[in-house]
Structure formats: structure tokens, C-alpha cells
A and B are shown apart, each in its own frame.
Chain A
Amino acid sequence: MSKNEQHWEKTRGLLFVTLAIWFVFSIGIFLFGAEMNEVTGPFGYPLTYWFTCQGSLGLFVILIFWFANRQEKIDEEFGFSEKGER
């Protein structure tokens, strides 16, 4: 397998992991919205309500930064990262 193919394989792996986490917090949990809302979540808000107004949103922010860092590592590993640029 060429270097490009290996790089792409890892990149695709990261994509699937990232999208799986994304799926859980944007779609998955809201399948059980009514049940989860009975539970008290962070800061005392009902749990589903908290996810829709803070939890999922904040998690997406962290997820994107995590993804960007992981992808940079993959690019560096194969010597594919950009040089001499900010």
C-alpha cells in the first residue's frame, strides 16, 4: 500500500470516529429525549433540555478541535503537513 493510501485510510478512520461521536450527540440521544429528560443533568437542568441548550453544542466545539489535532498528527506522521506556513 502506498503512503498516500495509508494516509487516507487513517484519515478515513478518524472521520468515522468523529462522525460516530457527532451522531450520538446530535441524533442518538434525542431518540430517548422524553426518558432522559426525567433525569437531572448538569447544573440541575433536566438532562435532555441541558443537551439541547448547552451540552451538545459545547461538545461539538471540543470535538472539532480534537479532530483538527488528530488530523494534524496523522498528516505529520506521513510527512504531509504544510511547511513554512502559519
Chain B
Amino acid sequence: MIKGNFVDNLPKIYGIYTGGFIGFIILMAIGEQMGMTSKTIGICFVSFTVFIYALIGWLSRTAQASNYYVAGRQVPTVFNGMATAADWMSGASFVAMAGGIYFKGYGYMALLVGWTGGYVLVATLLAPYLRKFGCYTVPDFVGTRYGGNLARLLAVIVLTVASFTYVTAQINATGTIASVALDIPFQYAVYVGLISILLCSMLGGMRGVTWTQVAQYIVLIIAYLLPVFWISNSIGAGFFPHFMLADEVARIGELEQQYGFVKNAAADLKTVPKGLAGITKAHSAVNATPWAFISLALAMMMGTASLPHVMMRFFTTPSVKAARKSVGWSLFFIFLLYSSAPMLATLSKLALIDPNLPTGIIGKSVAEVQAIDWYQNWNQANLMFISDFNGNGTVELNEFFMAGKAVVLATPEVAGLPYVISGLVAAGGMAAAMSTADGLILAIANAISHDVYYKMIDPRAETAKRLLVARVLLVVIGFAGATIAAMEIQGILGSVIWAFDFAMSGLFFPLVLGVWWKRANRQGAIAGMALGLASSIWYLVWVRTGGSGFLGITQLTFGIFGSFVSLVSMVVVSLMTPAPNASTQKMVDDARVPAGAQVMTQK
């Protein structure tokens, strides 16, 4: 059936895969009709998809450094776009984003703008030039452009701080989903999630991760879009929700007016389980100051352009030209999900709060709502809660509480969709979290094995030994991440945003100026990375321990302060010290021109 070159057959291979997956969904739907329990369906969905990813990981095994680090630089633009989209969209995007929009409306949607606008910076400022450079990792670029082990080491440190903050949240998410779907305790489920993640990346490195990420993208996008369209149709909101929800958005505004946002007494709120929230902000009205919105969007955009696990995906394209186009495809595939999240939030909110809909619970009697099946299920899972604060026997808007992730996980059930959809959503969330975790763990392990071990400690190491070190590190870092995830320190979304802030504080200007300012030198870059990261950590600790902050920069946007310090120190120190030598300047010139050989030669 499959003849010739693997890369030429990709559309066929993934076409068959997609068809197979849809067939599997239909099979499960038939199973449900024939009496399969919801638990069995959940187990089937998660274990079947994870098995496929592991199989792809095994088929992609390799013993070559260029395959392991950059997938042999032969990933076509569209497929690299899908892989980047899966790499990018984490458990947070999949599970938590619609929930955030549901609760916080407009102010929260700054993240949508930030997490997409950043790709314009990636495409124009960095990706094509770093691709031409021919580096294996982001610190590899810093180390070669600025020279010296200290600059390289600092880049590895920034990368590790940012990526590790991010990865614990992802392993946590795989653990949450595995524990619900497979019905095992969370502290074991975390390791089940971790082993699934390592199966994809250990044997094939970047090559294995690339081809599993494409497969994971297909699962997660089907799992996200199918329910959105289905819910929209089942509550009669329109068959193509993205273009047809204006009336629903207006109706939510009307209901908000009618109910009002009643503030609950502190004593009442104490009785609400931890992590659940009520609707307290307007849905589509502008409910944030311009600076609050813009600073959050800006921090996320600059963070996007500094996160190494995203940047390294563009090292895998066959050419500079392909790297540029590939950024466009990446954003297109991300756009498909991000433009649907606000629609899901709108549908979910309307379904729950509109008394004219059969699913609406606001205005019904408390006893009636407590008797609903789905309410009981999600209440038991600690994701939903109602309490009759004012004692009038009716559920009010301010008496209904939900967890952020319940918007994605529970809405299909609320809208009366069959359980097979909930199983599909679990598989999608698992795919989203696994693909991001894979990219992050690989970014950290590759940076340490390539930049610290090979470039600094043992430059004469054989390929086999280098790859062995890389794989051992992968396992060690994975287990470290899982151990911290098992302690459940922070929520999923908080730590994700911190990762962006750390990355932009330490890496944004050293990377951008490395390409766009020839005068930037080693001393400047060292100052920029060290002071940028240090000042961002200082600011975060200060704000977290009761500091007031300044200029409205919060613990979500502290990267703006860190990157400003980084820029100033980098420029000042660069200008105070001698200009880089002629060979470095030539390297920058070469990187700016797509034609010709890569700047670096890799073994």
C-alpha cells in the first residue's frame, strides 16, 4: 500500500490514520448504543490513542544525531505546522482556555491575541535566521553567535527554568486525565502519563516527537471541534457557530443585565470547594483596562517568540523558505482551535444560564438541579457546586460554581451529547498535554546533552554516546517533572503563563539582537540573559510576597519588566565593550541570506 519515500507518502499515511480514528469513534458510538459503559469507553479512547502514539514513537527510532535533534531536517511545511500546533497547544489551551473565557470574558481573551500574535514575531524576527544558522538547539545559537561557554550555559539555564515550569503543568494534566479515564489514583496516573510521554520521544528524539505530534494534532482538533459544532446545533444556536453566535452573545449580555452580578459574602464563599468559581464578569463587554489587556497580550507575544520548544520545531524544515511558510501553517492550525474556544465558552454559558433552554439551571429550584444526573456526577468530581445562599430555594447566577476545566469536560454532557463525545474529549486533552510535554522535555534534555555535555564537557564524544546521554537525561528530567507534578503545587494555567514570562525575560532580546544587531556581543548577551532572568524572578517573588508592583505589571506580566532590564543591560554592556570580531560579523551576514550552506556544520 505504501511505496517509496516516507516523506512523500505523508498525506496518504495521515489520511489513513485520520480515517481510522474516525472509524474508531463510530465504533465506540455503536458500542455505547449496545450498552458499553462510559468507563469502558473512556479507557478505550485513552489507551487506544496512547498505544498508537507509542507505536509511531517506536517506528521512528533512530541512531543518527541529525534525526534525533532536528528530525533529519526534512519535515514538510504543512506537517511541521501541525506538529508545531500540537507542540504549542498544551493541556491549558485545550482544557482551561474556554473555561477562562467563560469566567472572565474579554479581559481573559488577551491570551488569545497574545498566543497567536507572537507567531508574527517568530516568523519575521527569528525562525528563518535561526534555521539558516543550522543550530540543533536554541542555546546552540546563543553559544555560537556570541561565543564562549558562559553565554551558552546561561541560555541553557533560562531554557531550563522556563521549560521546566511549563512541563510540570503538562505532566499534571496528563495525570489528571489518565486518573479520570483509567480510574486510578492521581499519584500513580502521573507516572502512567509520563511513561506514555517518554514512549513517544525516547527512541526517536525529535523525529519520533514530530510524527507523534502530527498524530496528536489530528486527535485533538477533532476532539475540540466536533463537540463545538454538535452543541451549537443541538441547542439550536446555528450550524456554523463561528459565524452565527452573535444573537447568543447578545442574549448572554441581556441575561447578565437581568440577573446582575451579585457579590457573595466572604463567609458564603468559604463553603464553595477550592478551585471553583462563579460568573462575575461580563461576557463580551470590555471589562479590562486597555493596559491590563495590552500588557498581558504583549507579554504572551514576546514569550511565544522566546520559548525554545517552539523555536526548535522550525529547525526541522528542509529550507529557510519552508521555515517561514511553516510558521504560517502553524498559526493556521492553532487558529482553528483558538477561534473555537470563545464559541465553546459562549455555548456553554448560554446552555447553563438561559432559563428558556431546557438545559438552563439558573432560575430552577435547587432540589430540581440537585436531582439532575450530570450535576450529581460533576459535583461528585468536585467540578460543580450550587448552594442556596439567600435561602429562596431557587438557583441564582451567583449561587452556581464550576471549575474552569468543567467548561470543556462537562458541556457535552450538559448539552445532552452521548458519552462517546466525552471519551473523545478526554483523548483530545491527553493528546494536547502529551504533545506539549514531549516537546518541552526534549528541549531541556537536548539542551543539556548537546550544549552542556557535548559542546562543553566532552566535544569528542561518539554519536552513540551522545544519544545515550540525551536519552538518559530525557528519562531523568521526565521523572523529576512527574515527581513535582505529583505534589500539585500550582494550577495548570498559572505556571504556563510564568513560563512565558521567564522565557521572554532571559531570551527574547539576546535572540532577536543576535540576528538584527551586529554590534551585540558576548558581554552584552551575558548581561542581558543573567540580569533579565534574575530581575524577573525578583519581581515575581516581590509581588507574590505582598509587594505592590509598579506600572500595573502583575505576576502574570512580570516578563515585561524582566525583558526591559534585559534589553537595557544588553545594549549598555555591548556598547561599553569591544565589537564582536570579523568572523562573528560574517556569521551574522551569512545567516541573513537564505542561499548557501548553513552557518554551522553539525556532526
Contact = CB atoms under 8 A, between A and B. Distances in A.
B479 interface: no
A4 B328 contact: no
Interface string A18-56: 110010011100111110010000011110110011101
Contact of B117 (A43, A48, A60, A83): A60
B294 A30 contact: yes
A55 to B, nearest CB: 10
> Secondary structure of the B side of the interface?
helix
Given A18-B120, A61-B335, A68-B325, A49 B594 contact: no
Interface in B108-140: 109-110, 112-114, 116-117, 119-121, 123-125, 128
B124 A15 contact: yes
A67 B122 CA distance: 12
Contacts of A49: 106, 109, 249, 284
B337 to A, nearest CB: 10
A27 B297 contact: yes
Given A27-B298, A34-B286, A43 B331 contact: no
Contacts of B589: 4
Contacts of A75: 321, 593-595
Given A11-B592, A18-B124, A54 B324 contact: no
A50 to B, nearest CB: 9
A19 B124 contact: yes
A1 B444 CA distance: 43
Nearest to A72: B321
B284 A45 contact: yes
Given A44-B247, A53-B112, A67-B124, A82 B106 contact: no
B124 A46 contact: no
Contacts of A27: 294, 297-298
A34 B282 CA distance: 13
A64 B117 contact: no
B6 interface: no
A7 B593 contact: yes
B109 A86 contact: no
B290 A33 contact: yes
A60 B331 contact: yes
Contacts of A44: 246-247, 250
Contacts of B301: 26
A58 to B, nearest CB: 6
A11 B467 CA distance: 38
A13 to B, nearest CB: 12
Most buried by A among B76, B245, B301, B594: B594
B249 A57 contact: no
Contact of A33 (B123, B246, B293): B293
B550 interface: no
Contacts of A30: 110, 113, 290, 293-294, 297
Interface in B324-354: 324-325, 327-328, 331-332, 335, 338-339, 341-343
B595 A80 contact: yes
B244 interface: yes
B139 to A, nearest CB: 25
Interface string B132-163: 00000000000000000000000000000000
Most buried by B among A34, A54, A64: A64
A58 B328 CA distance: 11
B285 interface: yes
A81 B114 CA distance: 31
B117 A46 contact: no
B580 interface: no
A33 to B, nearest CB: 4
Contacts of A37: 284-286
Contacts of A52: 106, 109-110, 112-113, 342
A46 B249 contact: yes
A82 B324 contact: no
Given A52-B106, A82-B319, A67 B246 contact: no
A4 B594 CA distance: 11
A83 B597 CA distance: 11
B297 A68 contact: no
A86 B301 CA distance: 30
B61 interface: no
Given A27-B298, A71-B324, A64 B249 contact: no
B595 A22 contact: no
B320 A26 contact: no
Contacts of B332: 61
Interface in B3-60: none
A77 interface: no
Given A52-B106, A57-B112, A86 B246 contact: no
Given A81-B594, A83-B595, A60 B120 contact: yes
Most buried by A among B294, B341, B589: B294
B124 A56 contact: no
A82 B321 contact: yes
A19 B123 CA distance: 11
B318 A86 contact: yes
Interface string B274-293: 00000000001110101001
B113 A26 contact: yes
B297 A26 contact: yes
Nearest to B250: A44
Contacts of B123: 64, 67-68
Contact of A85 (B249, B318, B338): B318
Interface of A: 4, 7-8, 11, 15, 18-19, 22, 25-27, 30-34, 37, 43-46, 48-49, 52-54, 56-58, 60-61, 63-65, 67-68, 71-72, 75, 79-83, 85-86
Of all A-B residue pairs in the complex, the 6 with the closest CB atoms, nearest first, are A44-B246, A53-B342, A26-B117, A64-B328, A68-B324, A52-B109
Interface of B: 76, 106, 109-110, 112-114, 116-117, 119-121, 123-125, 128, 242-247, 249-250, 284-286, 288, 290, 293-294, 297-298, 301, 318-322, 324-325, 327-328, 331-332, 335, 338-339, 341-343, 589, 592-595
8 contacts: A4-B592, A22-B117, A30-B293, A48-B286, A60-B116, A64-B324, A64-B328, A82-B594
Given A25-B117, A43-B243, 8 more contacts: A26-B117, A27-B298, A52-B112, A57-B339, A61-B335, A68-B325, A75-B595, A79-B595
